Structure 1
Amino acid sequence: MSSNSKTTSKKSRFKLLHQYYSYTGFYKFVRQSMVKSLLPIGLFVFALIMVHHYLIDFNELFTSIVNTYSPAVILGVFFVSESFLGLVPPEIFIAWAGKSSHPMLYLTLLAILSYTGGIISFFIGKSISKLPSVYNYLEVKMEKHIKMIRKWGGFLIVVGALLPIPFSITSIAAGIINYKFRNYILFGLLRFVRFYLYALVIFNVV
């Protein structure tokens, strides 16, 4: 096969993928997710600025937290949260890392724990898929996520890793449908990108 034929074949595959994601609403979903995420992120940053200037000195607050709780306790709480439905916003912990004695070290540890927590969530999902009663219950509760994972696979994991969509829930959904683990851990690495990008903003605000 000539190089021109290979190039044409690649372009055809990309075109077909583009058409598929357009027809199935993936691009619309990403746009909506980004719009929805920008507002809470903007409000969070604005609230941090207002609270810092008018109510609480974050330097004192996080100094108090550091003096009261060891880093191991704080990282442990974060790890549990990231492994089970992502109940606590990661931004709070990123702000804590920014005021710690070693910001980049703790930021990296947070990213590693979030990534590892997602993997645990993935295997929770795989375990759930083997329990009919629990599976049937969660399939209804997580119908939207499961449907989207089945439809878009890795691209939704990319969105879950980068945007403020609970990464744990996306990971559980991926496990429930037995999504290929090798691809999951590859796409999930973008979780690190999210933490470092958010830190660029939060470290300069708090």
Structure 2
Amino acid sequence: MNDKNKKPNRKSHLRLLHQYYTYTGFYSFLGRSLLKAAPPILIFVAILLGIHFFVIDVNTMLLYITENFHPVAVFAIFFASESILGLIPPEIFIAWCGKSASPWGFLAILATLSYLGGIISYFVGRGIASIPSVFVYLEVKMAKHIKNMRKWGGILILVGALLPLPFAIASISAGIIKFPFGSYLLYGALRFVRFAIYGALIFGAL
């Protein structure tokens, strides 16, 4: 009897969530964000193909980086990038992992650094929220992101963690609105899933 009562309630809850995300424009926002993310990814792929066919074989380039740069230095550059708005596409570093002595081990380190970089971004947001002058400035600059975070919260962090969208910006916005840290850690952990999927795809292509 109790089980029968739970199923309709859950279905009703999911329907309400779907209606909320529809009415608040979440799905259209997601579509626009993916369309905006597509050109940089296509440009990156085009540049990579151009380098591969007209300058140097990509595999040779990755092997050169692997043999001539200490992994700690590469990880440090990646961590700095992930902590400061994700300036360098993670796919470059994932491809580098594929040519390392331990591809999946290096990828696990990469995913952990990305996750930690997001946490740093979250606390940057918390710090910003405690400095009135900086907060007022960024509240204008990041008005759309902050507004969206207040509307959609965890689902926006989840999307930033999984999809090719700015995870650092989602993390900063979460910090600014003081989104519960425990919940942030839970949603942000899906960053590991993204790296596992991208790793499998890129390692298979190399």
Quick check: TM above 0.5?
Answer: yes
Return the alpha-carbon distance in structure 2 between the equivalents of residues 130 and 138 of structure 1. Answer: 12
For residues 131-146 of structure 1, the aligned pairs below 5 Å read 131-146=131-146
C-alpha separation in 2, matches of 1:38 and 1:169: 18
SS at 1:86's partner residue? coil
Q: Which residue of 2 aligns with 1:30?
A: 30
1:106 aligned residue: 106
Q: Contact 1:80 / 1:117 at 8 angstroms: preserved in 2?
A: yes
Preserved contact between residue 34 and residue 165 of structure 2 (Cα < 8 Å): no
In structure 1, how many angstroms separate the alpha carbons of the residues matched to 2:56 and 2:201? 19
Q: Distance in 1 between matches of 2:81 and 2:121?
A: 11
- After TM superposition, the runs of 4+ consecutive aligned structure 1 residues lying more than 6 A away are none
- Which runs of structure 2 are paired with 1:33-52 in the superposition (5 Å)? 33-52=33-52
Q: Percent identity?
A: 54
1:76-155 equivalence runs, <5 A: 76-155=76-155
For 2:10, the aligned partner's letter is K
SS at match of 2:85: coil
Q: Deviation digits for residues 96-152 of structure 1, max 9, x if unmatched? A: 111212111111110000001101111111111100011111111111111110000
1:47 to partner: Cα distance: 4.1
Structure 1 residue 64, shift from structure 2 partner: 2.1
In the alignment, what sits opposite 2:164? 164
Gaps of 5+ in 1: none
- Alpha carbon RMSD of aligned pairs, Å? 1.8
Correspondence 1:61-72 to 2 at 5 A = 61-72=61-72
TM-score, scaled to structure 2? 0.92
- The question of 1:12 aligning with 2:18 is answered no
CA distance in 1, matches of 2:50, 2:140: 40
Question: When the two structures are superposed, what TM-score results if normalisation uses the length of structure 1?
Answer: 0.92
Please give the alpha-carbon distance, in whole angstroms, between the structure 2 residues aligned to 1:128 and 1:146. 12
Aligned residues: 206
Q: Secondary structure at the match of 1:66?
A: helix
Q: Distance in 1 between matches of 2:2 and 2:205?
A: 54
Q: Matches of 1:143 and 1:175 in 2, distance apart? A: 14
- In the alignment, the residues of structure 1 paired with residue 126 and residue 185 of structure 2 have an alpha-carbon distance, to the nearest angstrom, of 14
- Whether 2:194 is the aligned partner of 1:194: answer yes
* Distance in structure 2 (CA, Å) of the matches to 1:44 and 1:201: 16
Deviation at 1:195, TM superposition (A): 1.1
Q: Deviations over 1:126-180 (max 9, x none)?
A: 1111000111111111111111100000110011011221211110110000001
